[in-house]
Amino acid sequence: MAKVTVYTMDYCPYCERAKSLLQRKGISFEEIRLSEEDEASWDALEKRSGMKTMPQIFADERLIGGYTELAALDTRDGLQSLR
């Protein structure tokens, strides 16, 4: 099973949707919540993913994307590729 990491921030409805989808599918994940004031962490995450939006979802070291990409993966394979 892949180690799933979800980077989130406060007041983010897409973050909540992503976590809810993973929970419904029985996929365990680690949540890392970034503070809006933590510029160093945001910069490092953007450099890693190329994304500026949240959530950012990784399976092991592979970038899945955000909620939209996670939902598309669910449509394609029911998130089996994360198991």
Structural domain contains residue 66: yes
Q: What pLDDT is attached to residue 83? A: 83
Structural domain contains residue 35: yes
Confidence of residue 35 (pLDDT cuts 50, 70, 90): very high
CATH of residue 78: 3.40.30.10
* Whole-angstrom distance, CA of residue 20 vs CA of residue 61: 21
Structural domain contains residue 73: yes
Q: What pLDDT is attached to residue 17? A: 98
Residue carrying the six token digits 């994307």: 65
Structural domain contains residue 51: yes
Helix or strand holding residue 16 (H, E): helix 13-24
Residue 33: domain span = 12-82
Number of domains composing the chain: 1
Residue carrying the six token digits 């933590």: 38
Query: Residue 43 pLDDT more than 90?
Result: yes
